[in-house]
Amino acid sequence: MSNIDASRPTTTKQAGMVSIMVTMILMVVLSLIVIGFAQIARRNSRQSLDRQLSTSAFYAAEAGVNDVRDLIRTQGTPPAKPDCTNGSGATAAYYGALPSSTLDATANVKYTCVMVDPTATVLPYTLGYTGTVVPLTAASGNIDTLKFVWAKSTASATPIVGCSGNLVAAGSWTCGYAGLRFDLVPITGSLTLANMAATTMSTFLDPVSGGGVTTRAFASDGSASLVKVNCTNANCTLTINSGLGGNSYYLRIMSQYYQNVPVQISGTNASGAVSFTGAQVKIDVTGKAEDVLRRIQVRVPADGTSTNLGADYALQTTDSICKRFDIMTGHYQSDAGTAVPGMANGGNPLCKSP
């Protein structure tokens, strides 16, 4: 039997516990770091995949727009399609001619919804030096007013500086806004040359920073051949507020001094905003790739083309034009017979090589 000295305390060694706690803390910290890096890697991978899918969905939506444009070219002006269904009757027959919306069945790439609006209350265009021909036909009622709004053409912070109202050479134009030139022709009565010349409003809109107007009456007598339009730093606006009243017009409009000029055309009548038909069609398409959606809206000409079908000149050709005129007091003579090969008398004295 051993004797225990109760007066001496029992000693317990705990030096190993500190190492265990430090190791556990380090393991937790390292685990959190690894988990964080893993989440970042997964997030980057998903973002990269989403970008690829978003691009695919966008291309699918563009394919839907092009399919509708091709349908407009072959089938003519489309009926309204306000939702994702093809409707019934003539609407279903029209849009039933669209090709398959699935572009890649394996990757689940397709366009899921197509909506079409053949009317518009606002017609946006981007103008250049060549004319844009716009048919203005009210879906119902007449056109009592027409409004033109165009934005600045340069990045100038003060676009109205230099808008003095004086027409100058292109190189000396300092105004931040382009001038507009338009011909507005009512489609009424006899469409003879004399009648159209007598009823057409041909006008140059000159932007000014002050002292101009924002409204003007329709005038076909030349009194509105040059209109100084008052502009602000926001935009230039002119409203033809009287003298119209017809249901259908043709507008030829172009910019002066600047290219790529954004302009918006709208109108009103007794019922409110005019809905124009035969000018632009708004196509709204949603594309899908896996679980990513992209939706785009595009306005196209009502004939489905992307070019202006109206010529800016009486004669236009990609080849040489030879002409010869003799003009003097009381006398005019054209020698086309001898100046154009193959015509009477033959020869080409003006254009042939010496």
Across 9-13, 40-44, 207-211, 315-319, least confident range: 9-13
**Is pLDDT of 346 > 50?**
no
Q: Across 33-42, 177-186, 188-197, which has the greatest mean pLDDT?
A: 177-186
Q: How many CA atoms lie within 13 A of 205 on its CB side?
A: 29
pTM score > 0.85 for this model?
A: no
Q: Output 353 or 238, whichever has higher pLDDT.
A: 238
Band of residue 8 on the pLDDT scale cut at 50, 70, 90? low
**Is pLDDT of 328 > 60?**
no
Residue 353: what pLDDT?
44
**Is pLDDT of 351 > 50?**
no
3-class DSSP state for residue 315? coil
37 vs 315: CA distance, rounded Å:
70
Domain with CATH 2.60.120 in the chain: 122-274
Band of residue 345 on the pLDDT scale cut at 50, 70, 90? very low
Looking at every residue in the chain, the average pLDDT score rounds to 84
pLDDT in tens, 142-173: 999 999 999 998 777 788 988 988 888 888 89
Band of residue 267 on the pLDDT scale cut at 50, 70, 90? very high
Residue 98: what pLDDT?
93
Across 157-166, 207-216, 288-297, least confident range: 157-166
Q: How many CA atoms lie within 13 A of 138 on its CB side?
A: 23
**Is pLDDT of 327 > 60?**
no
Residue 11: what pLDDT?
57
Work out the percent of the chain whose per-residue pLDDT is above 90. Answer: 51
142 vs 246: CA distance, rounded Å:
5
**Is pLDDT of 281 > 90?**
yes
134 vs 233: CA distance, rounded Å:
27
Residue 333: what pLDDT?
53
Residue 156: what pLDDT?
76
Residue 243: what pLDDT?
92
Mean pLDDT across 178-204 = 87
**Is pLDDT of 109 > 80?**
yes
pLDDT in tens, 49-101: 888 999 999 999 999 999 999 999 999 889 999 999 988 999 999 999 999 99
pLDDT in tens, 238-258: 999 999 999 999 999 999 999
E strands present in the chain: 102-104, 109-120, 122-127, 132-138, 145-150, 179-186, 201-208, 215-217, 226-230, 236-242, 248-256, 261-269, 272-273, 276-289, 292-301, 325-328, 331-334
Residue 42: what pLDDT?
83
Q: What topology is assigned to 122-274 in CATH?
A: Jelly Rolls (2.60.120)
Contact 153/173 with Cβ under 8 angstroms?
A: no
